């Protein structure tokens, strides 16, 4: 009988302990699961080493990557690097961002061939891209930083500005049509510069000299002060850069839970023959849709 009572007391005590433990776990002093704030939000920049490529190759079971130590495509890098980040930063909280520099196979333009065309040779080169942790998963952030060199003949700059000049001519200088110049319109007589926003594919820069804009387009700028002329062209540039981005990067798409941005760095020719570096940023809000980030148009100090 005593033995049965002892067993009964032991069982009762165990139930009480378990019940109190359950109550304790759900009512920790000072703990509010709804008010939890991430504490290990990483902001890191790394460049992959040979050892890192070998680790990634091991994780992906890719002997070719282990031997070559570069990625054969951007999409494959975007697939592999998050797997590596998950292992390298296991405690990283959502909102963490790691900017990774890695070697990517890319075509390099070589000399001209007998047909007059340029030949290509593929070689690995360093590229840098951000990866972010969202909802527990590392994801490639396809944001872009586009630099437009102020160099005559630079293909990247010329293409970007030329799209704008064509758009300005079609939208504002018709009905004469492209190449049929509208006296007093926004395009200059060489059709290589527009004074709606100041873009020039001849100089590969933005022309924000008020006197030049007044001389070219007096019907619009003749009654303005120099400051008003430049301010008007700067406002218009927000529109024209978005147009060029949309036409040149029409496949850009937003990513759920992530801000995908396009930052454009360019040079402006200002009063006093000054060349001033500028930057502007857009948020990708739809496929091929770019929305200006307020306050982002500014000189680079």
- Asked if residue 116 has pLDDT above 80, the reply is no
In a domain, 161, yes or no: yes
In a domain, 186, yes or no: yes
Which residue has tokens 């909280």? 93
Q: Residue 159 has what pLDDT?
A: 96
For residue 198, what are its two tokens?
């100041």
Higher pLDDT, 187 or 119: 187
One domain, residues 246 and 278: yes
- Asked if residue 196 has pLDDT above 80, the reply is yes
Q: What's the mean pLDDT when you consider all of the chain?
A: 85
One domain, residues 228 and 295: yes
One domain, residues 112 and 155: no
Report pLDDT digits (tens) over 239-275: 999 999 999 999 899 888 889 999 999 999 999 999 9
3-state secondary structure the chain: CHHHHHHHHHHHHHHHHHHHHHHHHHCCCCCCHHHCCCCCCCEEEEECCHHHHHHHHHHHCCHHHHHHCCECCHHHHHHHHHHHHHHHCCCCCCCCEEEEEEEEEEEEEEEECCCCCEEEEEEEEEEEEEEEEECCEEEECCCEEEECCCCCCCHHHHHHHHHHHHHHHHHHHCCCCCCCCCCCCCECCCCCEECCCCEECCCCEEECCHHHHHHHCHHHHCCCCHHHHHHHHHHHHHHHHHHHHHHHCCCCCCECCECCEEEEEEEEEECCCEEEEEEEEEEEEECCEEEECCCCCEECC
In a domain, 65, yes or no: yes
If you average pLDDT over residues 191-216, what whole number do you get?
97
Residue 118 preceded by cis peptide, ω within 30: no
One domain, residues 166 and 276: yes
One domain, residues 135 and 206: no
One domain, residues 191 and 281: yes
The answer to whether residues 111 and 120 touch, using CB atoms and an 8 Å cutoff, is no
Which residue has tokens 């990708």? 284
Q: Residue 30 has what pLDDT?
A: 54
If you average pLDDT over residues 19-23, what whole number do you get?
47
- Most trustworthy range by pLDDT among 41-55, 96-110, 165-179: 41-55
Residue 32's pLDDT band, with cuts at 50, 70 and 90, is: low
In a domain, 33, yes or no: no
Range of the domain at 222: 147-299
One domain, residues 52 and 153: no
In a domain, 46, yes or no: yes
What's the CA dihedral at 17, 21, 22, 23 to 10 degrees? 100
Residue 19's pLDDT band, with cuts at 50, 70 and 90, is: very low
Question: How many structural domains are present in the chain?
Answer: 2
In a domain, 171, yes or no: yes
Rounded to two decimals, what is the model's pTM? 0.69
Report pLDDT digits (tens) over 154-170: 999 999 999 999 999 98
In a domain, 295, yes or no: yes
């Amino acid at each position: 009988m005593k033995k049965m009572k002892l067993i009964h007391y032991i069982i009762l005590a165990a139930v009480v302990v378990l019940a109190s433990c359950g109550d304790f776990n759900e009512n920790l002093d000072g703990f509010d699961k709804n008010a939890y704030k991430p504490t290990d939000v990483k902001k890191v920049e790394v460049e992959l080493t040979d050892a890192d490529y070998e680790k990634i190759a091991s994780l992906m079971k890719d002997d070719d990557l282990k031997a070559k130590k570069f990625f054969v495509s951007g999409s494959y890098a975007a697939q592999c690097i998050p797997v590596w980040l998950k292992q390298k930063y296991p405690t990283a909280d959502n909102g963490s961002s790691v900017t990774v520099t890695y070697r990517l196979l890319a075509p390099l333009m070589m000399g001209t061939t007998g047909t007059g065309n340029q030949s290509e040779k593929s070689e690995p080169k360093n590229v840098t891209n951000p990866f972010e942790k969202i909802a527990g998963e590392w994801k490639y952030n396809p944001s872009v930083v586009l630099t437009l060199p102020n160099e005559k003949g630079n293909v990247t700059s010329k293409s970007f500005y030329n799209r704008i000049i064509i758009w300005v001519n079609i939208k504002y200088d018709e009905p004469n049509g492209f190449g049929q110049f509208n006296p007093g319109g926004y395009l200059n007589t060489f059709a290589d510069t527009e004074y709606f926003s100041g873009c020039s594919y001849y100089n590969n820069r933005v022309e924000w000299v008020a006197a030049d804009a007044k001389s070219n387009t007096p019907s619009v700028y003749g009654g303005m002060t120099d400051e008003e002329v430049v301010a008007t062209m700067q406002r218009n540039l927000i529109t024209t850069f978005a147009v060029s981005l949309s036409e040149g990067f029409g496949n850009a798409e937003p990513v759920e839970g992530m801000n995908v941005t396009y930052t454009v760095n360019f040079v402006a020719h200002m009063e006093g023959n000054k060349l001033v570096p500028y930057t502007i940023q857009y948020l990708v809000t739809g496929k091929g849709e770019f929305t200006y980030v307020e306050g982002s148009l500014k000189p680079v100090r």
